[in-house]
Structure 1
């Protein structure tokens, strides 16, 4: 939900320049803002000039120029920036952005410049980036110039919202608006931001509008986390002036049409995460000028499957960090927990105790968690999918297979809208990304290499043509329904619907007592695998130490869903099953369901189910051996996964205790997947009862509210997973 990356819309605010996902923030400051002296003679500076291609991300190419007595550096997405001598013992070291970031030109044995290296935190932690020199002179990249205007836009109730308007200065043609509304701050939005952030659409030309929502940064009013949809669309409502994000969008659009000259009367709205939620709201009772929206990784239902809860299990560390960052003041304040979150929350006990220890418990959303642990009217009023019963505007939903924050939202919104899509204007794009990663130029997610800059492909071939078609009547948008990047084979697929129906068979993959997986139903459903779940030593959800979600010093939060699962093999509190080595490819395309029959010696329990692709030893890998670096033999990659809190097996709104020792059925979605388990790989399944500290510990004793559980409530339990438990896999016919 937090826009913490340099290229992760929305990212204008100073906080958002901590750069996790994408290009190097060092280059964001324009050269005109950097005052540097001379550093070296002309011939020495000329020796550095040229093009440099990143070794790990070969789609990122940087050009270094000598301009008079100094160097500049730029790329297709980074504005020209001056480099200055670092005044070190080596004349090959330069700095940018006021000396905060250091770049070193590396020479070969013959004394010629061979590469450029620097330290980046773009993937969540400090990492040395190396770019090798390539043939050819440096290349200037055209950044389209945009003017900047700051305005305060009045809403129907008199509150004014701050917005930044940017339009290209090199044309007098009428243009459509492309708007993003955000709680993360718009003050730093300028021409360089637009060109780096919306590279493809900036070149096409739009009037960009970036707006602070109510109560955030320079906008007036009160901020309400995921403000409920008002009854403004209800003819029987007694409050015609009810406001929400939909009405604020409507009023903003009306003001823009009237007050910004040379617009063509059309508006598009886009955004990722919280901004994706705001984009979806723009399509509910929209201003008639809104013609296209793209909710990307939208927070849709934060109790069912996005952000704060998953199937009733509370996302403790995320809720703690996000609420502290968003509600401590009008501006972002993330990353305050500076110790291992596993230790902190284990020692604190319950979520309420952890919040009271730091003062988080007094913040509005923390109070909401405490007083509304079940799916009551409070959360239902914020569930966007319940309001998606009409298609008013063309809609492009976007999501990532490894989105650690809002994987559920885009597929849920697409599913809600599609039955009403008479004009066939609802589209879906799903790729091999974490949260918002499609805005970056990268082939990787953690250690996994997908072989192409899939985000660039999406933006150029789908996103930019989508808005150009609906806002400018331009040709080129050819998506019929769904575009999905199929992992394993690492290629884009097109489907007539999601999930596709033709050529797909629903097959049950059973969890046998002996630890094997089989598509054959077991002879006896009474046999079981077992493990002990102990709340005093819960299973960590990612490698330790576990940093704060948005720690300014770096966090593995962004890539944890793609982390190797081998450390959890063989644990006494994790049950595991696997197939034999596959003798043919197995393709799954669609929703993956877990149908688990289990018992516990306690009276409450969580059930975590993970579907995993186990890569072979590289020496035994049939050609082509792709997907993971060669030094990751046997890597275990999660393909689909989810948690379910057992007390909600009958009703999300009315929790019930589990009868100790009795087998019960728990059926829940692991979400969609489009993946090929290649020949030579194995299919694995892991089941466990904790995923800590992302999810709060289930005490395994039924209590009315887990968030206020007492130390004596937490008890170890014996868990049985019966042999009729299975995953329902959407297997493509061979």
Structure 2
């Protein structure tokens, strides 16, 4: 064990096995959250599917060839009666492509749930992970990248004698990205996809970068978790199938993985490109090197390909997920620009008040009536698209949970129609008001020291959620603007933007903005947020230094939300210059950010301008009080036809009868 690893508390991982504890074990909850948005859905079905395992059978490790000859390991599940598969019939197939087999986080229980509805299921290890051959390059080999592994899988499936020629893509987080990226390929046999919190558009989604900021906590957590797979290409042998134990620390191929909570917060004198463990990972170094190069991330970016999509898709996303914008962009882009009228009309969107893992994490704000049976919804969606089975939920184009009201509402579009964009201006004495400023000159000041960054308090992140923001209230490196107590309810639903006029004494800096609902007792819950890195104010691909003291304008995307600020509550905006460790800290210097250390840190004097000529403001999508509201019953919660567990009780694979390849159905 290296000295730095020993000091940080470690897990040992190997290029040929899964994670195992040595000093500071990664918790099961942490691994679930890191490994995919459907951490819950990945293990969904435990309540019912485990008990019903005799109703499915599986052929393990079927070698499916990619177009370049690489063998992709695939587990094929089939519906069965008493463990017996009808070998004379054909089956529709759900395709799930995952890089997480090495963590023992198999999606067997998801497969069993779909089998219970009559679907065969193909669970495939992504290239370079689990039992599949090749090198792992995140989101670069799914569809139109260097390789076409997802497309090759669909083609192989519909060519099997047991296939009825119909394939349905399902997934969440990485798995959801893999499913979504199939859509513009116009693949024969691909009927639809059910896509949850999709990990697409790595250049700006919040996984690797968001508006030019490096998503430090997410990237370091996730890359360390995937280290054993990424380093396999440097090993002399292909990784063996996952086993319950890891090699002892210090064995030949062992890698020391710092505890995730520690890894996220790098020492001030350690640059990003020297972060423990992840510095060895080729794709991590590539991400740093191509910080300003969107072309490098093109294989994960759907936005220029909306016009090629001819399939309906179901988009499921969380208000507090890092991929919120990815889902909203995909839904709105495809609703407007998909290749056919049927595809444009066939998009559906559901937004709930969950985290990335859909997990009711202790300490987060609770939202009554927000539970949602993801697998029941997916099965019903597949039944609608392939079997023409109507479900009333799909009569609505958009369904979203309105926080504050704590109810579900249906809309005809996103953003909702009838929004009244209302500006709330920054005023003197920390007031937020709909009255614009009239001052000739007015500004508020604070000092930002990169050596003491403002701590992250949830938000739209991998470990996101809504939480009381008061722990940061005593800090001096932030500005707070709050309305008077509201004399009536104010409802917002839609995108939020901030127009900021600011100056800094530094040559580079960051501006972080939060929208907060302040309760009468002072509890302050975050709703949504945005950030901008000053060097990218003119161009995301051609950064330029600030002129110290020069006033610049920034148009800040604060994603979206849906909330009722109740009578007596207050609307609050917070401005800071860091959100650490969710995002990397800006040294306040126009330097190479991948190599910056504490030697580059500059204490910045920040000014936020709020006069008549430079009226800094937040634009909120207000829903007028007189607008009709279509409240609906809580969707997909009473449907128990597909089992669902909110918190997986264990991570064991279910006991399913195994088939030899020779015994696969013949059709």
TM-score range, shorter chain: 0.7 to 0.9
Secondary structure of the 2:159 match is helix
The equivalent of 1:590 in structure 2 is 494
Matched, 1:464 2:379: yes
Pick aligned residue for 1:644 from 517, 527, 532: 532
**Cα drift, residue 614 of structure 1:** 1.3
Quickly say closer, same or farther: Cα 1:295–1:230, change in 2 above 3 A: closer
Matched, 1:533 2:448: yes
Deviations 1:530-560 (A, max 9, x none): 11101111111149xxxxxxxxxxxx98654
The equivalent of 1:315 in structure 2 is 215
Provide the rounded CA distance (Å) in 1 between the counterparts of 2:105 and 2:500: 49
The equivalent of 1:223 in structure 2 is 136
**Cα drift, residue 174 of structure 1:** 4.1
Provide the rounded CA distance (Å) in 1 between the counterparts of 2:529 and 2:427: 19
Between 167-176 and 329-338, the greater mean CA deviation after superposition = 329-338
Provide the rounded CA distance (Å) in 2 between the counterparts of 1:447 and 1:689: 24
| Aligned pairs for 1:108-127 within 5 A | none
The equivalent of 1:599 in structure 2 is 503
The equivalent of 2:351 in structure 1 is 430
Pick aligned residue for 2:180 from 276, 280, 286: 280
Matched, 1:18 2:24: no
**Cα drift, residue 78 of structure 1:** 6.7
Matched, 1:361 2:279: yes
The equivalent of 2:369 in structure 1 is 452
Deviations 1:82-118 (A, max 9, x none): xxxxxxxxxxxxxxxxxxxxxxxxxxxxxxxxxxxxx
**Cα drift, residue 712 of structure 1:** 3.2
8 Å contact 1:297–1:436 — kept in the other structure? no
| Aligned pairs for 1:547-566 within 5 A | 559-566=463-470
8 Å contact 1:77–1:199 — kept in the other structure? no
Secondary structure of the 1:220 match is coil
Provide the rounded CA distance (Å) in 2 between the counterparts of 1:282 and 1:715: 46
Quickly say closer, same or farther: Cα 1:643–1:144, change in 2 above 3 A: farther
| Aligned pairs for 1:338-487 within 5 A | 338=259, 341=262, 344-352=265-273, 354-355=274-275, 358-403=276-321, 405-421=322-338, 422-423=341-342, 424-437=345-358, 446-456=363-373, 459-460=375-376, 462-476=377-391, 478-487=394-403
Provide the rounded CA distance (Å) in 2 between the counterparts of 1:320 and 1:558: 11
The equivalent of 1:60 in structure 2 is none
Provide the rounded CA distance (Å) in 2 between the counterparts of 1:446 and 1:407: 22
Provide the rounded CA distance (Å) in 1 between the counterparts of 2:530 and 2:262: 21
Report the number of matched residues.
Answer: 556
The equivalent of 2:258 in structure 1 is 337
Provide the rounded CA distance (Å) in 1 between the counterparts of 2:214 and 2:207: 9
Provide the rounded CA distance (Å) in 2 between the counterparts of 1:326 and 1:75: 25
The equivalent of 1:114 in structure 2 is none
Quickly say closer, same or farther: Cα 1:201–1:382, change in 2 above 3 A: closer
**Cα drift, residue 197 of structure 1:** 3.4
Provide the rounded CA distance (Å) in 1 between the counterparts of 2:411 and 2:371: 18
Pick aligned residue for 1:204 from 107, 117, 123: 117
Deviations 1:359-416 (A, max 9, x none): 432321221133222244223454232222222211111110011x322211121222
Pick aligned residue for 1:714 from 593, 596, 601: 601
Quickly say closer, same or farther: Cα 1:78–1:637, change in 2 above 3 A: farther
The equivalent of 2:631 in structure 1 is none
Quickly say closer, same or farther: Cα 1:19–1:685, change in 2 above 3 A: same
8 Å contact 1:562–1:637 — kept in the other structure? yes
The equivalent of 2:202 in structure 1 is 302
Quickly say closer, same or farther: Cα 1:324–1:265, change in 2 above 3 A: same
Secondary structure of the 2:194 match is strand
**Cα drift, residue 420 of structure 1:** 2.3
Please report the RMSD computed on the Cα atoms of aligned residues, expressed in angstroms. Answer: 3.0
**Cα drift, residue 459 of structure 1:** 4.6
The equivalent of 1:147 in structure 2 is 57
Pick aligned residue for 2:439 from 524, 533, 536: 524
Secondary structure of the 2:155 match is helix
8 Å contact 2:272–2:594 — kept in the other structure? yes
**Cα drift, residue 156 of structure 1:** 1.9
8 Å contact 2:185–2:308 — kept in the other structure? no
Quickly say closer, same or farther: Cα 1:18–1:214, change in 2 above 3 A: same
Secondary structure of the 1:322 match is helix
Quickly say closer, same or farther: Cα 1:343–1:252, change in 2 above 3 A: closer
Q: Which has the larger radius of gyration?
A: 1
**Cα drift, residue 21 of structure 1:** 9.5
8 Å contact 2:356–2:461 — kept in the other structure? no
Provide the rounded CA distance (Å) in 2 between the counterparts of 1:558 and 1:311: 16
Pick aligned residue for 1:702 from 566, 590, 606: 590
**Cα drift, residue 573 of structure 1:** 0.2
| Aligned pairs for 1:260-279 within 5 A | 260-261=161-162, 263-279=163-179
Pick aligned residue for 1:164 from 75, 90, 97: 75
Provide the rounded CA distance (Å) in 2 between the counterparts of 1:476 and 1:496: 17
Higher relative contact order (CA 8 A, sep 6+): 2
Quickly say closer, same or farther: Cα 1:396–1:557, change in 2 above 3 A: closer
8 Å contact 1:179–1:209 — kept in the other structure? yes
**TM-score, normalized by length of structure 2?**
0.77
| Unaligned ranges ≥5, structure 1 | 1-12, 24-73, 81-141, 232-241, 544-555, 618-633
Provide the rounded CA distance (Å) in 1 between the counterparts of 2:409 and 2:312: 21
**Cα drift, residue 308 of structure 1:** 1.1
**Cα drift, residue 731 of structure 1:** 0.3
Provide the rounded CA distance (Å) in 2 between the counterparts of 1:584 and 1:202: 50
